[in-house]
Amino acid sequence: MTHATASRAVLDAGGRAPLLPAARTAFLEALDQGWADPRRLHAEGRRARMLLDGAREAIAGAIGARTQQVDLAPSHTAALHAAVRSVARGRRRTGDQVVVGAVERAAVLNAADFAGDRVTVAVDADGRVDADEFSAALARPGVALAALQHANGEVGTVQPVAAVHAAARTAGVPLLVDAGSSLGHVDVAETWDLLAADAGDWGGPGGLGVLVTRSGVRRSPDWPEDEDRWFPGGVSVPAALAAAVALQVAVSTRDAEDTARRRLVDTVRSRVAAGVPDVEVVGHPVERLPHVVTFSCLYVEGEALLAALDARGFAVGSGSACTSSSLEPSHVLAAMGALTHGNIRLALPRGTRLEDVERFLDELPGIVAGVRAAWGVGGL
């Protein structure tokens, strides 16, 4: 039975956050001003090129890079694939090993398998790699590239990127940092050689990725030659401009949003653990993203729980945030040794209201109990 609710509460913004109002305005304006092909030499094309270059410059400024180091990709996945493939090919004389953490996005793991010999470093119960183990792995002969996420978008745990980057520098191995869940939410330090990010995650339009490459990193494409060397065909100019505007807004409001959303996540973590029987809250309790929290419930199937919450007006995530919407068991949770079923992930958008979180927490125990009863495991 579907229960009436005053309004829907969107608590799932991981990878696809609601478009920020300033980004929407920029997108609509760019549809009028930047519709032309930026490679054309007529006035309309030059105007589109100016907007595209301005977007790259703004993104570079927000990241702390030079404009010429920033490439825009048709998706975050495309940016990750291109980074792994092109660096592995560019450094093939060094070796073919790609060192990764066990909880990297599927895009990184699959690209590492495609490009060479993947070496996987395990994580602890919080989903964090051991910096010493990771450093030892990338110091071995034959390593072409190392890849380590800034923070995990599924459980929120922040990785020891600075320590790993220092070891990578010593070993002469470039480090790809996936900031797809971090950029715009927390400070992403300059401890990287390649940086990938996702505009949809920080409140820009979906379908636009960013790849930043430091000078001196050798890359060689393994795809056909094109006028746009790294991402053939280019990207949407309106999307690029909207992404740049959204990132500027996200960075300028980051501290205030961090405080507000971290407080909400702390409330979720404590109340779920105390109020729902047989539940496991995962991820590092302190060294984490401010807006992400994940918990797993025994004796319940994730898809059924997601559907029940959706019927009550709550949009949440389940399964793996970094693979697909197929609700397959999460490789992230499996690597952590955590429950892989009955999983619910919240990624709070900017401006999430306390009353929506409180309502979610008030209704969650009864919803979980109802799903368990429907599965014949009530009263446990």
Gap between the Cα atoms of 380 and 372, Å rounded? 9
**CB contact burial 70-97 (16+ within 10 A = b; e otherwise):** bbbbbbbbbbbbbbbbbbbbbbeebbbb
Backbone angles phi, psi at 160, to 5 degrees: -80, 65
Token pair recorded at residue 320:
């793996």
Asked if residue 95 lies in contact with residue 173, where contact means CB atoms within 8 angstroms, the answer is no
Q: Which of 322, 335, 344, 371 is catalytic?
A: 322
Gap between the Cα atoms of 14 and 17, Å rounded? 6
Asked if residue 246 lies in contact with residue 22, where contact means CB atoms within 8 angstroms, the answer is yes
322 is catalytic: yes
Helix, strand, coil percentages (3-state) for the chain, rounded to 5, are 40, 15, 40
Q: Write the single-letter amino acid at 122.
A: A
Strands 97-101 and 117-121: parallel
Gap between the Cα atoms of 112 and 208, Å rounded? 22
Backbone angles phi, psi at 222, to 5 degrees: -115, 30
Largest Cα–Cα separation, the chain: 72
**149: β partners:** 178
Gap between the Cα atoms of 276 and 273, Å rounded? 6
Catalytic residues: 322
